[in-house]
A and B are shown apart, each in its own frame.
Chain A
Amino acid sequence: MNGVHDMGGMDGFGKVEPEPNEPVFHAEWESRVLAMVRAMGAAGAFNIDTSRFYRETLPPHVYLSSSYYKKWFLGLEEMLIEKGYLTRQEVAAGHAMQPAKALKHGRLERDNVERTMVRGKFARPAPAPERFGIGDRVRAKNIHPATHTRLPRYVRGHVGVVQLNHGCHVFPDSAAMELGENPQWLYTVVFEGRDLWGADGDPTLKVSIDAFEPYLDPA
């Protein structure tokens, strides 16, 4: 979706403000939100792409004015309601009122936390041979799906070169909408800064994205 989360190349957000000696969390509730998201994800209540989609679909003014973990919280609450794990009445009451829905992988127990600290695996067997080779010129498609996609707007329509082939991975555009993993070849595609940003762009800049095969046409 063409949401405000797709920020690459936008102007007007001001300077980057590094924070010296930044704490891991700025408030205790942030840590609880992070842990709830991890625990519910490990329990199989949602996949990582669906959780990203729920953050992206926050109204633009909410997305832009909420802190990072506030967005995580708002996305989590809405997602759990829509997936049937909670009701709005329960959220309003602050207590459970309905029977629980079964979790695909069961509750994450204390003794299994270590297991969730390693990143998930996203590589899958290839359903078809790859279409592009290293060094091939490819054009990012000019597509504007209203649902989840990982093709940022700033490369759409532009030509780049395939630099790396990462194999076949879960396709976020399908997984986010719970339409299955639909594995697709994944490539690192490099674009010249001036192709993206015009003649005034930094001539020393090269930018890559990781692009799934359905995002690309031969160029």
Chain B
Amino acid sequence: MSEHHHHHDHDHSELSETELRVRALETILTEKGYVEPAALDAIIQAYETRIGPHNGARVVAKAWTDPAFKQALLEDGSKAIGTLGHVSRVGDHLVVVENTPQRHNMVVCTLCSCYPWEMLGLPPVWYKAAPYRSRAVKDPRGVLADFGVQVARDMEIRVWDSTAETRFLVLPIRPDGTDGWSEEQLAELVTRDSMIGTGFPKTPGAPS
């Protein structure tokens, strides 16, 4: 038990030690002229405000309503998204993979944390942590169960391990009961996890 307590105390002091070390590093980098604190602020602000899953959701909603865009998106994700202009700029290597009634796609980075930042923002902690990275490629149905998600037993599970600079975005299946919905309405149904492949879009009328 004392061993247990010791670890807790250790963790606690380590946290504040980290804060101090991070602050010291920024001081040194600033004093040496390597970084401008205002530039750091601007980077942080971009990730806290502009760059998030709403970007991916707009792309998915457009693909659900515009067959020509969807085809272009599946052929060359970066190029198709580049034509939209209003979503955050993606790099050259975005691949969009389509869920079908026969196939469910899931994205992982077993080696680190590669993730389509421009479409989804910074990855959640679970995406970067050992349980997801270790199991997604071996037991994806078990991982999905951790999210409360089940896919039919006979469906193919297609896992994309992001081991290079290619980035993957899942195009989920458009929910039933959304005929005639606008892109803006549809985008509200698109969840971050549905674009990683660990969830589905929201169901119309269900409590959010």
| Residues of chain A having any CB pair with chain B under 8 Å | 5-11, 13-19, 22, 24-27, 29, 31-36, 38-40, 43, 45, 48, 52, 55-56, 64, 68, 70, 73, 76-77, 80, 85-86, 90-91, 94-96, 100, 103, 107-110, 112-114, 116-123, 150-152, 154, 164, 166, 169-170, 172, 186, 188, 193, 196-197, 201-202, 204-212
Beta-carbon contact of A117 and B89 below 8 Å: yes
Are the CB atoms of A40 and B38 closer together than 8 Å? Answer: no
Give Cα distance in the complex from A95 to B162, angstroms. 39
Interface flag for B157 (CB, 8 Å): yes
B1 adjacent to chain A (CB < 8 Å):
no
Partner of A16, one of B131, B159, B160: B131
Given contacts A7-B133, A100-B33, 12 further A-B contacts (CB under 8 A): A16-B131, A18-B146, A29-B19, A31-B44, A68-B128, A85-B32, A94-B24, A107-B36, A117-B89, A152-B111, A202-B140, A206-B159
Which of B28, B126, B140 meets A96, CB within 8 Å?
Answer: B28
In the bound complex, how far is the Cα of B166 from the Cα of A66, in angstroms? Answer: 27
**11 A-B interface contacts by CB (under 8 A):** A7-B133, A11-B134, A16-B126, A17-B126, A18-B124, A36-B26, A86-B28, A112-B39, A122-B92, A150-B164, A154-B138
- Asked whether, in the complex, the Cβ of B39 is within 8 Å of the Cβ of A109, the reply is yes
Q: A96-B31, A109-B39, A206-B156 are in contact. Are A52 and B47 (CB under 8 A)?
A: no
If the complex has contacts A13-B130, A15-B131, are A6 and B91 also in contact, measured as CB distance less than 8 A? no
